[in-house]
Amino acid sequence: MNINNNQFLSIEQLQNQFLSQQKGRQKVSTTDGLSFEQVLQNTQNSNEVRFSKHAASRLNDRNIELTSEQWERLKDGTKKAGEKGIQESLVLVDELAFIVNTKSNTVITAMDQSETKENVFTNIDGAVII
């Protein structure tokens, strides 16, 4: 930026100067050749379901193992809940119950049928039975 004789550049001049600098720049890419926009889009489109530490601990403590078919049904139920606008969903898969935050695709807690004796679930705004 040139400042001569106490004269300042106008907003238009600054804008033109900035835009001409931007035109010469290339898109920044990651080491695998993806632009930031592509990485962001892939992350937002990802429907991978994750488990919180608490939920993972629950599964481990109770020796609950999901089959690949149950895993796919859990992901499908989470996706359906999110599409319906449910934020905190109960997803029932066979005898397993999962409380899922659909915004972050994160299982908050997990339990099997023996723990659902009272059949009372709190802090949810919808349920999906898969």
All domains of the chain in start order, with CATH: 11-44 (no CATH), 47-129 (3.30.2310)
Q: What are phi and psi of 99, to 5 degrees?
A: -100, 120
Interatomic CA distance for residues 68 and 32, integer angstroms: 30
Residue 29 has pLDDT above 50, yes or no: no
Say whether pLDDT at 126 is over 90: yes
Residue type, 7: Q
Among 70, 89, 95, 93, smallest CA distance to 127 is for 89
Strand pairing partners for 96? 93, 112
Mean pLDDT of the chain: 79
Of 38 and 17, the one with more pLDDT: 17
Question: Maximum CA pair distance of the chain?
Answer: 83
At 126, is the secondary structure helix, strand, or coil?
strand
Q: Which residue has the higher pLDDT, 47 or 31?
A: 47
pTM of the model: 0.63
Q: Mind listing the pLDDT tens digit for each residue in 77-118? A: 999 999 999 999 999 999 999 999 999 999 999 988 777 667
Listed range (13-17, 55-59, 66-70, 109-113) with the worst mean pLDDT:
13-17
